[in-house]
């Protein structure tokens, strides 16, 4: 759905804003040659299209005051998400580099990284969640996301051919960083997947959307998680991505090394994986509360 909306906004700008079409073609070429993903192109393109439609000209024709005024408008008037604001700033930076406008890049606001720790469900909470799914499709979807540590987009794009029951592997294709990877298929998932396939008869994609030959939408995955969470007593602000966070944290707690985990998660940099060390309760850790020492538990 978001992809369709982005494409429509870009097409509108091509028709209504002078020079936008040629500018977008140049942007598309640089994104492809730079090895960036199609989602990056759509995110940058959508944001650049919106600022172009707002001023009725392409951003390279705007001055510093106009750009800063628009960014302020996004933060205060529109109250856009941090993600959209980030894509707007990064998209403009990328565009200005293409046109050798390095002086314009410096004047854009810097974005501070959010130091939020991920929301992680306990093993007990995960089991409650998986049991709470009302229909088989929902239970299998949530179990598969957790058991393989998948992103929402990855589970939605899984095709039947990507599930290797003989080798117990799942082929994840063209992920966030345009890289393929394999992750283990839990033997415990095999029976459930076969039962699901026999009941739902998926065609091309493992989890079909409303129309034939289309994958399940991002909204459909989010809805499944949200509705299932309502049936159990979990007060954490959990999302579908929390299952991937839980997968990573639990594997560390069960003894997996960080380097192996980073490869399974498909992270481009090991530093991204290290955040889970802050939430995992590792064996041999010297972290404890002083409350436990001043009030030691007595053995019955």
pLDDT of res. 80: 79
Q: Which of 93, 137, 241, 263 is catalytic?
A: 241
d(CA 237, CA 117): 12
Q: Is 241 a catalytic residue?
A: yes
180-214 pLDDT per residue, tens = 899 999 999 999 999 999 999 998 999 998 887 78
Q: Which of 44, 70, 205, 276 is catalytic?
A: 276
13-70 pLDDT per residue, tens = 999 999 999 999 999 999 988 888 888 899 999 999 999 999 999 999 998 889 988 9
Q: Look at phi and psi of residue 77 and say left if phi exceeds 0, alpha if psi is from -120 to 50, else beta.
A: alpha
pLDDT of res. 290: 73
Q: Is 276 a catalytic residue?
A: yes
pLDDT of res. 179: 80
Q: Is 176 a catalytic residue?
A: yes
218-272 pLDDT per residue, tens = 899 999 999 999 999 888 999 999 999 999 999 999 989 999 999 999 988 888 8
Local confidence band at 105 (pLDDT 50, 70, 90 cut-offs): low
Query: Has this prediction a pTM greater than 0.75?
Result: no
Local confidence band at 159 (pLDDT 50, 70, 90 cut-offs): very high
Q: Which of 54, 151, 173, 263 is catalytic?
A: 151
For the chain, the residue count is: 300
Span 111-117, average pLDDT:
71
Q: Is 244 a catalytic residue?
A: yes
Span 69-80, average pLDDT:
82
Domains of the chain: 2-107 (1.10.150), 123-278 (1.10.443.10)
Q: Is 156 a catalytic residue?
A: no
Cα–Cα distances (Å) from 54 to 42, 49, 269, in that order, read 18, 8, 37
Q: Which of 21, 159, 171, 176 is catalytic?
A: 176
Percentage of residues of the chain with pLDDT beyond 90: 60
d(CA 236, CA 256): 25
285-295 pLDDT per residue, tens = 566 667 667 77
The candidate with the shortest Cα–Cα distance to 60, out of 99, 26, 31, is 99
Q: b/e per residue, 212-234, with b = 16+ CB within 10 A? A: eeebbbeebbeebbeebbeeeeb
Q: Is 151 a catalytic residue?
A: yes
Q: Which of 244, 245, 247, 250 is catalytic?
A: 244
């Amino acid at each position: 759905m978001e992809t369709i909306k982005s494409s429509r906004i870009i097409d509108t700008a091509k028709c209504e804003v002078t020079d936008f079409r040629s500018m977008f073609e140049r942007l598309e070429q640089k994104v492809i040659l730079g090895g960036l993903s199609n989602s990056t192109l759509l995110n940058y393109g959508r944001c650049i299209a919106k600022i172009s439609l707002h001023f009725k000209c392409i951003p390279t024709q705007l001055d510093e005051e106009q750009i800063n005024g628009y960014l302020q408008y996004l933060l205060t008037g529109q109250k856009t998400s941090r993600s959209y604001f980030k894509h707007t700033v990064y998209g403009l930076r990328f565009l200005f580099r293409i046109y050798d406008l390095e002086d314009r890049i410096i004047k854009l606001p810097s974005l501070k990284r959010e130091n939020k720790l991920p929301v992680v469900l306990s093993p007990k909470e995960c089991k409650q969640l998986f049991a709470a799914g009302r229909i088989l499709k929902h239970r299998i979807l949530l179990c598969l996301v957790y058991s393989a540590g998948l992103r929402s987009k990855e589970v939605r794009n899984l095709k039947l051919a990507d599930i290797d029951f003989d080798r117990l592997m799942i082929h994840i294709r063209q992920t966030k960083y345009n890289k393929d990877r394999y992750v283990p298929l839990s033997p415990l998932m095999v029976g459930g997947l076969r039962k699901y396939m026999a009941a739902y008869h998926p065609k091309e994609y493992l989890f079909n959307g409303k129309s034939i030959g289309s994958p399940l939408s991002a909204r459909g995955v989010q809805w499944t998680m949200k509705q299932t969470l309502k049936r159990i007593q979990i007060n954490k602000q959990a999302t579908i991505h929390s299952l991937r966070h839980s997968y990573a944290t639990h594997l560390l707690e069960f003894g997996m090394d960080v380097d192996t985990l980073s490869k399974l998660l498909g992270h481009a940099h090991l530093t991204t994986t290290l955040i889970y060390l802050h939430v995992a309760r590792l064996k041999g850790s010297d972290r404890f509360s002083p409350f436990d020492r001043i009030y030691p538990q007595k053995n019955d």
